Amino acid sequence: MSTTGSNPGTFSFESTHSLAPSAQGLGRDGRRYGRTGLIHTPHGDIQTPAFIPVATQAAMKAVLPEQMKDLGAQALLSNAFHLFERPGEDVIDQAGGLGKFMGWAGPTFTDSGGFQVLSLGAGFKKTLAMDVTGMKSDEVIAEGKERLAFVDEDGVTFKSPLNGSEHRFSAEISMGIQHKIGADIMFAFDELTTLMNTRGYQEQSVERTFRWAKRCVAEHQRLTAERAGKPYQALYGVVQGANYEDLRRKAASEIASLEFDGVGIGGAIEKRLLGQTCAWICDEMPEERPRHILGIAAVDDIFAGVENGGDTFDCVSPARCGRNGAVFTRDGRWNIKRTQFRRDFSPIEADCDCYTCQHYTRAYVCHLLHAHELNGYTLATIHNERFFVRLLDEIRASISGGYFDDYKRETLARFYAHGSKG
């Protein structure tokens, strides 16, 4: 059992059970860094490993905070960049912080805005960057996109996707915004590259992210002292380095050398290397710091991430897929808007305990989504978020109970038996 946190009693982490090393372990000497634990925050504990649903703009689209609590969500993650754009961090600060502003009593996370360096700069979503395609180029940009973000040593200048106005983000600005938003856990400002950037640029980016990380820590400490009457906010450093083992290890060692409360495993990662990349990073990180894997929600990726050290995970995919009719079940992911479900009066999933499956049918959800009724978004999202929250709950139980390997094998075999994309 271990604890961490520069403010004991307000933020700390304790590990409770760990996976045993194995011949297939990807860490040093066959280590498998998967574990269970507790993250203690000023607004409650998070049992890990855990899935953290994404309430991007201080809201789950079409789902109330009370419903998220009822489906078992332990914490929510919001986006500092979007909240900076609207309603503004000063409004949230005046409201008493993110949780009070959106009516959520539990722990909260904010990401730093670093993801917008990629999405506004190169125009790619993280899921697209999971595949290595196209030529190596530092000028790469997604088809049909305009470059809206420009990186320099001090930070990023970008055009607002809302109205085209120009703004500036830096380590200090990101820390100032996140402190006013008031989440329990926040992330250092980093640069997220694409897998198509050259090796030379990846090296420069890792060093730049480290320099920004040092500035984030200094500003975080200054603001923490200045806002002494506020609940303590934990700061996680972010490890970048794309697919390169030496860069990932170097970045992890550099982030580990700073006074962070935890670590975020970020960046574009080729799918086949996700588990290995996590293991490289965990080899170099203090075990007493909690680890968050940013933007992951495919079922096989969740297992790879947990087995190799992920404590918490976030992704917009469950909600976004639900709004488009894609639902996750133990037997795979499929589209509930298909014609075959128009007269199917069974629940989305027979053994699911979510509100949707307990009260509504496939036919009804199919109808709502075809009719573009907002209730359809609500019901599909509740089911999908419950699927991932429950998946991580069951993984946590399997680690504690000593049957993780069997649970992993059986779950993946069933989920992908029919070629699911999930």
Looking at residue 131, what is its pLDDT?
45
Whether 318 contacts 33, CB under 8 Å: no
- Whether the pLDDT of residue 274 is over 50: the answer is yes
Q: To which residue do tokens 């973000």 refer? A: 149
Question: Is the backbone of residue 113 left (phi > 0), alpha (psi -120 to 50) or beta?
Answer: left
Please give the structure tokens belonging to residue 190.
């980093």
Positive or negative, the CA dihedral 359, 364, 368, 369 is positive
- What confidence tier does 143 reach under pLDDT thresholds 50, 70, 90? low
Q: To which residue do tokens 């933007």 refer? A: 295
Please give the structure tokens belonging to residue 224.
């923490």
Looking at residue 144, what is its pLDDT?
61
Looking at residue 117, what is its pLDDT?
55
- Whether the pLDDT of residue 132 is over 60: the answer is no
To the question of whether residue 354 is assigned a binding role by annotation, the answer is yes
- What confidence tier does 113 reach under pLDDT thresholds 50, 70, 90? confident
Q: Where are the domains of the chain?
A: 50-315, 325-422
What average pLDDT does this structure show over 111-118?
Answer: 72
Segment 52-105, tens digit of pLDDT? 999 999 999 999 999 999 999 999 999 999 999 999 999 999 999 999 999 999
Tell which residue, 255, 315, 307, 302, has the closest CA to residue 127. Answer: 315
Segment 41-61, tens digit of pLDDT? 999 999 999 999 999 999 999
Rg (CA), the chain: 21
- What confidence tier does 130 reach under pLDDT thresholds 50, 70, 90? very low
Please give the structure tokens belonging to residue 381.
């999202």
Distance CA 106, CA 86 (A): 22
Looking at residue 14, what is its pLDDT?
97
Looking at residue 422, what is its pLDDT?
80
The catalytic residue positions are: 111, 314
Looking at residue 136, what is its pLDDT?
64
To the question of whether residue 112 is assigned a binding role by annotation, the answer is yes
Segment 227-267, tens digit of pLDDT? 999 999 999 999 999 999 999 999 999 999 999 999 999 88
To the question of whether residue 266 is assigned a binding role by annotation, the answer is no
Distance CA 245, CA 266 (A): 14
What is the chain's mean pLDDT, rounded?
A: 91
Looking at residue 90, what is its pLDDT?
98
To the question of whether residue 404 is assigned a binding role by annotation, the answer is no
Distance CA 159, CA 174 (A): 16
To the question of whether residue 341 is assigned a binding role by annotation, the answer is no
- Whether the pLDDT of residue 9 is over 80: the answer is no
When the candidates are 3.30.930.10, 3.40.50.2300, 3.20.20.105, 2.60.120.680, the CATH number that belongs to 50-315 is 3.20.20.105
